[in-house]
A and B are shown apart, each in its own frame.
Chain A
Amino acid sequence: MDQILRSPARAPEGTATLSRRHLLGAAAGALVLAVALPARVRAEAQGPAEGAGAIAPKPGTRVPAFLEIRPDGTFRFLSPFVEGGQGIATGMAQIVGEELDVDPARFVVECAPPGPDYAVVNGIRMTGGSFSTRSSYPLMRQLGATARDMLVRAAAARLKVQAAELTTRDGTVVHAASGRTLAYGALAADAMALKPNESAPLRDSKTFRYIGKPVARIDVRDKATGRAVYAIDQKVEGMLYAAVAHAPHPGTEPVGLDNEAAVRSMPGVHSVHRLPGAVAVAADSWWRARKAVEALTVRWSAPKATGLDTVAADFSSDGLLAVLKASAEAGHAAEAEGDVTGAFARAAKVVEAEYAAPYLAHAQLEPPSSIARFNPDGTLDVWLPNQMPELFQGISAKVAGVSPDKVRIHSPMLGGFFGRHFPYDSGNPFPQAILLAKATGRPVKVLWSREEEFARDGLRPLSFSRFRAALDAAGNPTAIEVRTVGEGPIGRYFGALMKTPVDPSAVEGIVEKPYAIANRRMTFTKVAHPVTIAFWRSVGHSMNDAFYESFLDEVAQAGGHDPFELRMTLLKDKPRHLRLLREVADLAGGWRRGPYAAGAGQRARGVSLASPFGSETATIAEVSVEGGEARVHNLWIAFDPGSVVNPAIVKAQVESAAALGTSSVLFEQIVYRDGLRQSRNFDTYPILRREHMPAVHVRIVESGAPMGGVGEPGLPGVPSAILNAIAALTGQRIRSLPVANTKLAGA
């Protein structure tokens, strides 16, 4: 038996919860530091970029940090962002290629290592928040233009002509007067030695060939032929494979192994280990490691009997929801406008409703894995799926007991993410890989089985909001009041960044709505969950827009208005939203709520709006009921992200988000009973299958507003449009998700 593994970063003796918090604190602290310090100081803190005394770069400007022009005519681009299906690798190739004058198809895009050059998202670096393109678009255009300018100047020197006499054509500098040409590859060494001109002129957008065009993704061939390499596919020499079994209750520890000797003698087994909150077996193949770890008879310490500071033996999701509902603690103002109390006092009618949404798993199809390798020179390599390399670098360093500059982070493409790959408490395998590599003296790859992933994935928080609206005699809303109780992932993991006690990730989708309702009071009351919570595609919007837009339909019904007409009325001074509503109605062949006869039965439609991540959406869903279950036939989505780089990828992302929205509202939930998650695999956590996939019709509206996000915004309008259609069809207003928990009436 190895000694219990303990990293210097962890708190002493039996304080697993504390030690995990310690890691988290470091994580949040690192981000706070990154945001609080000027870029230059931050860059110096991370060490010189190259050579001694290199000047800290302005993020997104140093051409050689991003671009390698290869002799074979391909271009390697080190991206600040990780590709996980959203198409950002292709988008970067389009933006840089447009200005560099290189066909995006010739780019090889990889996620860059940690480094100050890549902190291009408002001074930090992450792939998330639907930020990638909108945050980096001007920088990446300029980077491409700066690189092209260097190549042209290098060519001018080589050809002994004026730079103004030269043009470029897809990776080649052309001197038209003499007919001479020079490939970029032949000029690269000279060009990179020149002083960059960071105000090199940009291309006239009217002449764009790649930006704004449905350019083919650069990764589809590899992904259609099994050649794409994900973290799970990587292998390093001398590597052991490890499988883990986590404690049934998070925060409990292995206290004894009854059959360790027998397990150690199983085929291929190298060693048996205790880890914080888990046991592990290292072996010469993962299947052997898994069989062995599952054969271990482990005695675990007991969880707390009750309480909400840990996942106690009696913890249940129903119990937590009851606590959220029962909370009487006053909320902090998330939005306050007008005279809400007066409006309710004068109301002709008051509408009230409570909405709840369950915990959700990410259920990305690639189970998480990580490889850790300590090198003879004292450095550590970590290969892992991640959305924030610098943050994982810092945590890895703490776990390993080395300084961050000794840690190389490798970020392969992601087999889906949806918010999965931020550091979540004990929700990632990389600390286990580091501890096992240390213990065995060998590189170790830890792969979580699907069951272990469902046991330890960070979850979208279970959520609860109570709505009230005041209506005047004409049935129009004069006031709305929303009380939200719970916790969001920003408060949990990046709370130090918040300027108020209101967690934006808990109330987004409920505040800052476009509707002309004069009197508004939205509050947030924090009740911390014992559960590891997480960002999940579109975060707070994923449930809050479902709540708000469902409630707005309830208001319309109480006031005797058609839900589409009420929205038109409340948006009469909002031309961008009005246009989207008209566009989506047009796309759907005109607004009609139904029910109406279609196919073999009745169908009805619901409408919703959402304003997530700087973009705007209007959605109409068409639903029928078969055998007590909802069938979504069509989703029509008008999507305005301001402007787009790749309309084909944007449409694909909206359809993908719509699929996840459909899946979540109809089927998904993680239920806790007796402190245990009830889902361990896809048989007990149903996700959208082909037979439930609706037809999705997307219309992109480029309003010219500032560029918004793309990856997440397609989702939030979908659940509410479906819920509103179900209500129109059956009269049943579902206020507790998912729909599958309710038997629907009608056919």
Chain B
Amino acid sequence: MFDLTINGQSRRVDVEPDTPLLWVLRDTLGMTGTKYGCGIAQCGACTVLMDGQATRSCQVTVDSIGAAKVETIEAVEADPVGRKVVAAWIAAQVPQCGYCQSGQVMAATALLRETPKPSDDDIAGAMTNLCRCGTYNAIAAAVRHAAA
């Protein structure tokens, strides 16, 4: 049994200690906004925030979470920065297939909370998630838009 704090709510889950947070979210809790893409921290589709830091949830075992506060895409608009990011994503018409965009939005939210006026280098450093549709330029435009 593990007690987790997800989007401000406590959730108790009965899974093996080495279960990745990603699969706790998706299969145990039914929160499918966080996506599985590679399972090896390459793509970032599974990005969530842990104590505000963008984190690849496929690499976080449930027994390592402890009291850390987990935020997922399901609650992104409950946060003022997250709300701005989503609005910018819509204004810039970023998504195509959309599958990576949950992770991209979470990564952008973490970046802008920490660095409200990011430079291009900041964006390059923080926005490392893969997008097979090639929306990278639109993502950068949306991050700048949200920062403006």
Contact = CB atoms under 8 A, between A and B. Distances in A.
Interface string A687-709: 11111010110000000000000
A226 B76 contact: yes
Contacts of B100: 365
A206 interface: no
- Residue in B23, B40, B132 with the greatest tally of chain A CB atoms within 10 Å: B132
A377 interface: no
Contact of B27 (A285, A662, A683, A689): A285
A287 B132 contact: no
B9 to A, nearest CB: 16
A349 interface: no
Nearest to B28: A285
Interface string A209-249: 00000001101111111111110110100000100000000
A365 B130 contact: yes
A701 B141 CA distance: 24
Contacts of A86: 96
A287 B90 contact: no
B96 A224 contact: no
B126 to A, nearest CB: 10
A334 B35 CA distance: 45
A675 interface: no
Contacts of A366: 35, 37, 97, 99
Given A219-B95, A682-B42, A655 B32 contact: no
A415 interface: yes
A367 interface: yes
B30 A235 contact: yes
B105 A688 contact: no
A64 interface: no
B68 interface: no
B132 A225 contact: no
A683 B97 CA distance: 22
Interface residues of A, number: 64
Contacts of A656: 96, 133-135
A409 B99 CA distance: 22
Contacts of B135: 652, 656
A338 B131 CA distance: 47
B124 A691 contact: yes
Interface string B20-56: 1001001110101111111110110100000000000
A224 B105 CA distance: 7
B95 to A, nearest CB: 4
B76 to A, nearest CB: 6
A418 B131 CA distance: 13
Contacts of A693: 134, 136-137
A470 interface: no
Contact of B102 (A226, A690, A691): A226
B45 A365 contact: yes
Given A416-B132, A658-B134, A688-B134, A224 B94 contact: yes
Interface of A: 84-87, 216-217, 219-230, 232-233, 235, 241, 267, 285-288, 363-367, 413-418, 447, 449-451, 648, 652-653, 655-660, 662-663, 681-683, 687-691, 693, 695-696
30 contacts: A84-B97, A86-B96, A221-B86, A224-B89, A225-B86, A225-B102, A226-B105, A229-B32, A233-B32, A235-B30, A241-B27, A267-B16, A286-B26, A287-B19, A287-B20, A288-B16, A366-B35, A366-B37, A413-B97, A416-B97, A450-B39, A450-B40, A652-B96, A655-B137, A657-B134, A662-B134, A683-B42, A687-B130, A695-B137, A696-B137
Given A85-B95, A85-B97, A414-B97, 6 more contacts: A226-B76, A226-B102, A285-B28, A660-B134, A681-B38, A695-B137
